[in-house]
Structure formats: C-alpha cells, structure tokens
Amino acid sequence: MAQLTLVGEEEPAPGAHSASRSIEPDQGDPHKYIIAFAVVLAALMQVIDSSIVNVALPNMMGNLGTSLDEIAWVSTGYILASVIVIPLTGWLGSLFGRKRYFVGSIILFTFASFMCGASHSLGALVFWRIVQGVGGGALMTVSQAVLFESFPRSEAGMAMALFGLGVMVGPTIGPTLGGWLTDNYGWPWIFYINMPIGILAAIMIAGYVKDPEYQQKPPSIDYQGIALLAVSVGAIQYVLEHGQRDDWFDSRFITALTVIGVVGGALLLWRELTTEHPVIDFRVMRHRQMWVGTLLGVVMGIGLYAMSFTLPVFLQSNLRMTAEQTGITMLPGALMTAVAMAVVGRLTDRFDPRILITIGALVFAYAAWELSRMTSLSGATDFFWPLIWRGVGLGLMFVPLTTVTLAELHAHELAQGTGLYNFFRQLGGSFGIAGIATLLARYTTQLRAVLGEHLTAGDPMTLARVDMLTRGMIARGADPLTAHQRALSMLDGQLYAQASILAYGKIYVLSALLILLLIPLLLLVRETRGAGGGHAIME
C-alpha cells in the first residue's frame, strides 16, 4: 500500500526507535506554546525596535547636537548590520549551536540596547546601534525556524500565525510606544524598554528550546563568502536607503556602490554555489515551493512596505497627526491582523493556502483602493474600515505564504530556508520603500505642475482666493505688502499639499496592483492539501 508522506519530513532509518527523536512528529514539542511565547517575544522586540527609533530622531538631534544626515545613521547602521546578518543565521546557528547562538543574540541585542540609551555622543550611539543590529538580525529568522520545528507539520499554519503576530503588529506598536516614551521619559527609554523583555526571552529560550539533533558544526569557515556578503548587501542596502536623497545615479558615489553591490552579489552567488561548505546555502532554492514562495514574498514585501512606509508619513505630514495619534489610528488594523492570523492559522491547516492568499490579496487591494480616496478633510474615523480590511488581507496572505514556502524543506534546511526567505522579503521591502519614495516625490512634482496650470494671475478664482487670504493677514496686523506675499506663500503651500495627497492616492493604487500580482504567480505553486501547507506526495 502506498504511503502518504510530507516533503520536508525525513523518513526514520529502518529499525530506528521513535524515542530517539527529541520532538515527536505528531505532537510537536511538549512545551511548544511556551516556546512560541518566548520566540515571538524576541521577534517582537526586534521588529518594534526597527520602527520605534524613527519618532525619537528629532529629540536625539537636539540632545546630541547633530544634523539630520548624521542622526540618520542611527537607523541606517542598524538596518545595514541586521540585513547582512539575516542570511548568515543558519550557518551561525550551526557554528555556535542554535540555542547558544539564539540566546547569545538576545543578550547582545539587550546589552547593546542599554548602551544605546546610555550613549552621550553620536559616534557611541551609532556604534551600539550597529552592534544591536548584529544581535537583532538573528531574532526574527531563528525564531521562525524554532517555531516551525516546535509544532507538528499539521499545525504549521498555527505556528506561523503566532510568529506573524509579532512581525505584523510590531511596526504599528513601535511608533506609538516610541512617541509616548520619548514625550514622557526621554529618548533613552526607547532602548531601556528592551531590557526586561530581552532578559525574559533569553531565560525562557535557554530553559525550553533544544538544539536539533541534525545540527552539525561546519568543518571550515567561508571567509570569502562572508566578505562578499558584507560588501554586496551593505552596498545595495545603502543605495536603497540614500539613493533618493542623493538623486540616485546623478551621484557618482551611489553609482559606484550600485556596481559594487551587483558585481559583489553575482560573485557571492557563484562562490556559495561552488564551495563545499557555504555560509549561505542557496541550494535550498532547488525546492519549487521555496523559490516560488520567496518570489511571492518579495512581491508582497514591495507592496506591503509601500503602504506601511507611506501611511504614517501621510497621517503625520498631511493630516497633522502626532506620532501617538497615528499609532492609535492604526491600532485597530493591527489588532485585526492579529485576529485574522489566529483564524487563518487554523484554516491553513485545512484548506488550500492558495485560495486564502488570493482572497487576502483581493481584500488588501480593496483596502488600498479605499485609502487612495482619502483627502485633506479625512479624519481618524475615515481610516478605520480601510485599515480593518488591510489587517484582514495581511492575515490571509502572511500565514499561508510562509507555510507554503517552508513546506518542502527538510529539517536540516529550515534554518537556511527561513534566513533566505526573510532576507529576500526584507530586500524586497527595501526596494519597495526606495521606489515608492522616488515615485512619491516625482508624482508630487508632476501633480503640482498640473494643478499650477489652473492658477494664473488672471484667473478670477485665483485672484479671489489671494484677496481673501491677504485680507485675513491684514486683519491679523500685517502690512499690505507682507500680507500679499504671505497669501501667495499660503496658496503655494495649499497647492503642494493637494498635489501631495493626490500623489499618495496614486501610490496606494500602485500598492494594490503590486499585491494583485500575487494571484497569477500562485499558478506556480503546487497544489496543497492541508497538512500545514505541506505538499503531499505518494511513495
């Protein structure tokens, strides 16, 4: 009789006793929910820290006496370090032992957080942010691998739902928490808040997480691969972070870094595919679900980050909301994401994940289209339902997509697979943010020019508007000439604001179209029948 198995689960050797396995395949780890709480706590700490700093940058500038370009390295240094570490996490876990590496990364992240808060100079703060990024790069990726192994494959959807809570809710909590801590206690507390969380996560992981039995220490260290990774990824990430500000390829430095990044990336790929013991095992991409899921993750990352990046800026810049008000406005959507993930975690184990992803893409696209219709008169209540639908769409997409991507991997490939999946999704998000920032600036300029064509010196409505604004300024005590100049300046500002709002609308429509690209790409995914998205085959 043919035996039904799941790709990604290894057959026990003939005569092997089932007790030799540290985790029973049909039940998972006996402490799986405690492990889930601990690793989600670690991932949540890392995700929140990626966004919590941004709202405190103005306070840091005043306290440390730095310029905007200088203080930007507080964010850039952290991102560069974490992005370089993410694809190395599988190899580093094998080198040091996954449990030891995981706990060590949490301790390093927590200690660096304390030192960031205690820094009294920009140089010290940037240095410790880089160290924090080195520790933080492992938290999300290793958490995902540990969680996927701790639950049986039949509950893989629920495992990824628990992981998704931290990944998706964190960016919403970050700005709100950061704004509140900065306003009430000062910017160092956005770093000090990590200490109790990090200590608790480290203690729980040290007590309950076990090293996998298949773990083997690599016999050699691929120094060339590590160097090529650091150079290529660091160059590309810097280009994506600062390209818009430096006018992209009008800057020789940006052009040179782009060449270094592309050539270095090609050499890295060649090196890792030809060396016997690579630091990044690109061979896991031979699994169809893995490379298709990673491609889908890049597309989702571009579309998702396009909205996640622009929405807080839109609320604060165009609608004049504070960081705390922005967080409160976005909170219902984040909570709905959590609810949707909890429900979808169960559904993924019972239904074809492609159907759930398709429904999620349609719901997310609808939410983006609703957001594209917002105006300067919109208030917090106008965003409630679009953000609720956005949360539902995210929950429907994130859990089944992650489950499908990892479903065919063998146990010893999970660490490398999760590292590459998160790396490419992060890189897709960086491309999305860079592209959206560029398009937003260009759309605003173009729309401002179009709107300006209707404001001429002889237009009666324009003259009436300027006259009304001028009289208002005179009523406040300004002389006629000054009042007229201020009126023209106000009119120009209103023109720019309207062009900006229209530009955001176009960005949200583009975000919807990008997410809808997921649907035809799902044709590349194999048919799955429950089992956490595992691909069923007959042997």
pLDDT grade, residue 27 (50/70/90)? low
How much is the pLDDT for 115?
93
Q: What are phi and psi of 24, to 5 degrees?
A: -70, 130
pLDDT at site 11: 42
Identify the pLDDT of residue 465.
64
pLDDT reported for residue 13: 41
Per the CB < 8 A criterion, the answer to whether 161 and 342 are in contact is yes
Across 65-92, average pLDDT: 79
Q: Are 431 and 302 in contact (CB under 8 A)?
A: yes
Which pLDDT value is given to residue 109?
Answer: 94
Confidence of residue 24 (pLDDT cuts 50, 70, 90): very low
Q: What is the pLDDT of residues 295-314, one digit of tens each?
A: 888 887 777 766 766 777 78
Contact 363, 392 (CB under 8 A): yes
Tokens representing 356 are 């759930």
Residue 347: partners with Cβ closer than 8 Å, 6 or more residues away:
157, 356
Least confident piece of the model among 37-51, 162-176, 398-412, 516-530 = 162-176
Task: Average the pLDDT over 54-79 and give the result.
Answer: 75
The larger pLDDT score, comparing residue 176 to residue 362, is at 362
Q: Are 434 and 395 spatial neighbours (Cβ–Cβ below 8 Å)?
A: no
Note the pLDDT tens digit of each residue in 350-395: 778 888 889 988 999 999 899 888 887 888 888 899 989 988 888 8
Give the C-alpha separation, 420 to 435, whole Å: 22
Class of domain 299-539 as given by CATH: mainly alpha
Residue 382 tokens, joined = 């106008």
Q: What pLDDT is recorded for position 20?
A: 37
Instruction: Tally helices (H) and strands (E) across the chain.
Output: 20, 2
Whole-number pLDDT of residue 203: 93
Helices 122-150 and 57-64, axial angle in degrees (round to 10): 150
For the chain, what is the mean pLDDT?
A: 78
pLDDT at residue 256, as a whole number: 92
Does residue 177 carry a pLDDT above 90? no
The two tokens of residue 467 are: 């006259």
Q: Which residues contact 323 (CB under 8 A, 6 or more apart)?
A: 55, 175, 176, 178, 179, 312, 316
Region 404-424 average pLDDT: 79
What pLDDT does residue 18 have?
37
- The confidence score (pLDDT) of residue 455 equals 62
For residues 247-271, give the mean pLDDT.
89
Give the mean model confidence (pLDDT) for residues 155-159: 70
> Given this model, what pLDDT does residue 236 score?
86
Identify the top-confidence range among 21-35, 374-388, 422-436: 374-388
Domain ranges of the chain: 29-219, 222-278, 299-539
Among 43-52, 77-86, 465-474, name the most confident range.
77-86
Does this model's pTM top 0.75? My answer is: no
Separation of alpha carbons 102 and 372, rounded Å: 42
Q: What pLDDT is stored for residue 15 in this prediction?
A: 40
SS3 of 6, please? strand
Sign of the torsion formed by the C-alpha atoms of 253, 254, 255 and 261: positive
Tokens of 455: 């404001």
Right CATH number for 29-219 from 2.40.50.140, 1.25.40.10, 1.20.1250.20, 3.60.15.10?
A: 1.20.1250.20
Q: Which residue has the higher pLDDT, 426 or 290?
A: 290
**pLDDT (0 to 100) of residue 131:** 93
| pLDDT reported for residue 200 | 93
Per-residue model confidence (pLDDT) at position 181: 82
Cβ-contact 31, 125 below 8 angstroms:
no
pLDDT at residue 2, as a whole number:
38
Residue 234 has pLDDT above 70, yes or no: yes
Q: Write 518-523 long-range contacts (CB < 8 A, 24+).
A: 518/296, 518/299, 518/300, 518/357, 518/358, 518/361, 518/397, 519/358, 519/361, 519/362, 521/292, 521/295, 521/296, 521/299, 522/296, 522/354, 522/357, 522/358
- Ranked by mean pLDDT, the top range of 97-101, 181-185, 276-280 is 97-101
Q: What is the pLDDT of residue 14?
A: 40
Residues 6+ apart with CB under 8 A from 46: 82, 109, 136, 139, 140, 170
Q: pLDDT by residue (tens digit) across 444-496?
A: 888 877 776 666 555 666 666 666 767 676 777 677 777 666 666 666 667 77
- The residues pairing with 28 across neighbouring beta strands, listed in sequence order, are 24
Q: What is the pLDDT of residue 180?
A: 79
SS3 281: coil
pLDDT > 90: what percent of the chain?
A: 9
- H or E element at residue 537: strand 536-538
